[in-house]
Structure 1
Amino acid sequence: MSEAPVAPPTGSADPAFADGIGLLVRPPEPRAGWRLLPARVAAMCAVELQKLRHDRTELYTRAVQPALWLLIFGQTFTRIHAIPTGGLPYLDFMAPGIIAQSAMFIAIFYGIQIIWERDAGVLNKLLVTPTPRSALVTGKAFAAGVKSLIQAVVVIVLAALLGVALTWNPLRLLGVATAVVLGSAFFSCLSMTIAGIVLSRDRLMGIGQAITMPLFFASNALYPVAVMPGWLQVVSRVNPLSYQVDALRGLLLGTPAHLGLDFAVLVLAAAAGITAASALLGRLAR
Structure 2
Amino acid sequence: MSVAPAAPRVVWGEPALRLISRIATFCLVELQKLRHDRTELVTRAIQPILWLVIFGETFSRIRAIPTGDVPYLDYLAPGIIAQSALFVAIFYGIQIIWERDAGVLTKLLVTPTPRAALVTGKAFAAGVRAVAQAVVVVVVAALLGVAMTWNPLRLLGVVAVVVLGAAFFSCLSVAIAGVVLKRDRLMGIGQAITMPLFFASNALYPVELMPGWVQAISRVNPLSYEVSALRGLLIGQPTNYWLDFGVLVAAAVLGIAVASALLGRLSR
TM-score (norm 2): 0.95
- Is 1:99–2:81 an aligned residue pair? yes
Amino acid at match of 2:125: A
- Is 1:62–2:44 an aligned residue pair? yes
Equivalent residue in structure 1 for 2:147, among 157, 162, 165: 165
- What corresponds to 2:3 in structure 1? none
Separation (CA, whole Å) in 2 of partners of 1:198 and 1:39: 31
- What corresponds to 2:229 in structure 1? 247
Separation (CA, whole Å) in 2 of partners of 1:178 and 1:284: 30
After TM superposition, give the deviation of residue 29 of structure 1 in Å: 8.2
- What corresponds to 2:215 in structure 1? 233
Separation (CA, whole Å) in 2 of partners of 1:98 and 1:29: 46
- Is 1:156–2:132 an aligned residue pair? no
Q: Deviations over 1:161-206 (max 9, x none)?
A: 0000000000100000000000000000000000000000000000
After TM superposition, give the deviation of residue 32 of structure 1 in Å: 2.2
Separation (CA, whole Å) in 1 of partners of 2:11 and 2:151: 44
Please show how residues 124-203 of structure 1 align to structure 2 within 5 Å. Answer: 124-203=106-185
Separation (CA, whole Å) in 1 of partners of 2:86 and 2:46: 15
Moved over 6 A (4+): 26-31
Amino acid at match of 1:129: T
Percent pairwise identity? 74
- What corresponds to 2:251 in structure 1? 269
Q: Deviations over 1:102-148 (max 9, x none)?
A: 00000000000000000000000111111110000000000000000
- What corresponds to 2:5 in structure 1? none
Amino acid at match of 1:89: P
- What corresponds to 1:223 in structure 2? 205
- What corresponds to 2:57 in structure 1? 75
Distance 1:148 1:231, change over 3 A: same
Q: 88-97 or 30-39, which moves further after superposition? A: 30-39
Distance 1:84 1:122, change over 3 A: same
Separation (CA, whole Å) in 2 of partners of 1:28 and 1:197: 39
Separation (CA, whole Å) in 2 of partners of 1:97 and 1:29: 45
Separation (CA, whole Å) in 1 of partners of 2:163 and 2:43: 20
In structure 2, list runs of 5 or more residues that go unmatched.
1-7
After TM superposition, give the deviation of residue 258 of structure 1 in Å: 0.9
Separation (CA, whole Å) in 1 of partners of 2:142 and 2:168: 27
Distance 1:168 1:30, change over 3 A: closer
Separation (CA, whole Å) in 2 of partners of 1:53 and 1:104: 20
Alpha-carbon RMSD: 1.5
- What corresponds to 2:103 in structure 1? 121
Q: Deviations over 1:224-248 (max 9, x none)?
A: 0011111110000000000000000
- Residue 124 of structure 1: SS of its match in structure 2? helix
Amino acid at match of 2:83: Q
TM-score (norm 1): 0.89
- Residue 189 of structure 2: SS of its match in structure 1? helix
Distance 1:27 1:262, change over 3 A: closer
- Is 1:111–2:93 an aligned residue pair? yes
After TM superposition, give the deviation of residue 59 of structure 1 in Å: 0.5
Equivalent residue in structure 1 for 2:24, among 16, 36, 42: 42
Equivalent residue in structure 1 for 2:194, among 212, 220, 241: 212
After TM superposition, give the deviation of residue 27 of structure 1 in Å: 11
- Residue 279 of structure 1: SS of its match in structure 2? helix
